[in-house]
Amino acid sequence: MGDTTAPCVSEAPYAVPTGVALLTDNGEFRAKFNRTDFLFDHGLAGHPLFELPALAELANRIPKFRDFVYWQNGRVNVNDKWDANPAPRLSLEETIHGIAHNDSLVILKHAEQDPLYGPVLQEILQRIYSFTSPAAQADIVLGESLIFLNSPGRKTAYHLDLESNFLLQIAGEKLVHVFDCADRSLTTDVELENHCGGNHNGAIYKPEREGDAHFYHLTPGHGVHFPSMGPHWVQNGEQLSISININFDLKSIHHRMKRIYRVNRLIRRLGLEPCAPGKSPMKDALKDKMWLGVSAVLNSVRTAVKGRDESMAYPAWRPAPVARVNGAQPV
């Protein structure tokens, strides 16, 4: 097992907002969580903790497990793939140092476990969780944070996530294009089967549907929520963009629905037309159990061949119970 112990880090020499100054409940978290997109405000606009020198130090502290730090060099189009690197590959240090002009993207994952960034990011996770309904809270398994650094003018290609997302803009501007997560004429069952099967380029951009997107012009201090499976793409403004992405894994999506789509993908490869999730509760339950059996065998084989995946040793944020007074949600 790799050493996951973080180096000693001194406390930040500046105040970090907490409580309502950090994130205020606008009433939409409860009503719209993982159903539809909406705007909200936060208190981290331009904070020194999220400036390049501090973020470069964070990048060096993040454990070097596979995919914990991701970067992409060169300008991409909305319909490009995540593994595209249209420019010569730079080192992570070179990419961050020159990100104001090198047409790059950097993603720093699991910063909520960092000794310096952890307290504020874990408070955001817990506050968002506390703002949602009891049903949503029962569905949330765990949360994580990602910090995005984007060069001026750069696009983030069209894609979808199984996680339920909250994007907080810290510096620079973004124009976010978000599509309906439930529209199967836009995102087909085949695309979702491919995505759940491990193809993160499974969602296919359809330029003729661009008019169906909701548009959000994000400036520092503002954020947008988009539900799981809600396709989106992003156009950055004329300055360096820094933002935080808060993600939640859901039992209903990451456990049950993902399993059903994986089984459907296998069925389709046999030349058959599978029943989409939600059409037949009995078939859904059977597929859920089928995949549990298949995955147990695959995991045993994988462990025997490759050994334990070290990334599994990295801690994950999990929600703390929310106290209620007379059934009311906390503020």
In a domain, 210, yes or no: yes
Query: In this structure, how many other beta carbons lie within 10 angstroms of the beta carbon of residue 100?
Result: 12
Residue reference for tokens 């380029």: 201
Query: Is residue 157 a contact partner of residue 233, using CB atoms and an 8 Å limit?
Result: yes
- Predicted confidence at residue 6, as pLDDT, reads 43
> Are 33 and 83 contained in the same domain?
yes
In a domain, 98, yes or no: yes
- Predicted confidence at residue 83, as pLDDT, reads 79
pTM for the predicted model, two decimal places: 0.89
CATH number at residue 103: 2.60.120.650
Q: What total of structural domains would you count in the chain?
A: 2
Give residue 135's domain range: 19-250
> Are 78 and 199 contained in the same domain?
yes
Residues in contact with 26: Cβ distance below 8 Å, sequence separation at least 6, in sequence order = 40, 41
3-class state of residue 94 by DSSP: helix
In a domain, 106, yes or no: yes
In a domain, 57, yes or no: yes
Residues in contact with 250: Cβ distance below 8 Å, sequence separation at least 6, in sequence order = 34, 139, 140, 141, 163, 164, 228
pLDDT means over runs of 10, the chain (331 residues): 45 81 97 97 96 95 84 93 86 96 95 94 98 97 97 96 97 97 96 94 96 97 97 97 98 94 94 94 92 73 60 78 57 46
> Are 266 and 199 contained in the same domain?
no
> Are 118 and 87 contained in the same domain?
yes
In a domain, 319, yes or no: no
Alpha-carbon distances of 132 from 26, 33, 35, 135, 213, rounded to whole Å? 11, 7, 12, 8, 25
> Are 223 and 261 contained in the same domain?
no
> Are 168 and 293 contained in the same domain?
no
In a domain, 318, yes or no: no
Element (H, E) at 58: helix 52-61
Pick the closest to residue 228 from 245, 247, 206 (CA basis): 247
The CA distance from 82 to 158, in Å, is 9
> Are 41 and 158 contained in the same domain?
yes
Query: In this structure, how many other beta carbons lie within 10 angstroms of the beta carbon of residue 272?
Result: 10
> Are 278 and 164 contained in the same domain?
no
Residues in contact with 230: Cβ distance below 8 Å, sequence separation at least 6, in sequence order = 37, 160, 161, 165, 178, 179, 180, 181
In a domain, 323, yes or no: no
Query: Is residue 248 a contact partner of residue 142, using CB atoms and an 8 Å limit?
Result: yes
> Are 235 and 294 contained in the same domain?
no
- Predicted confidence at residue 298, as pLDDT, reads 66
3-class state of residue 196 by DSSP: helix
Residue at a domain's end among 186, 221, 250: 250
Amino acid (one-letter) located at 181:
C
> Are 234 and 266 contained in the same domain?
no
> Are 161 and 299 contained in the same domain?
no
> Are 192 and 301 contained in the same domain?
no
In a domain, 55, yes or no: yes
Residues in contact with 79: Cβ distance below 8 Å, sequence separation at least 6, in sequence order = 157, 158, 205, 207
3-class state of residue 55 by DSSP: helix
**Sign (positive or negative) of CA dihedral 262, 230, 144, 87:** positive
Residue reference for tokens 């597929």: 287
The DSSP letter of residue 54 is H
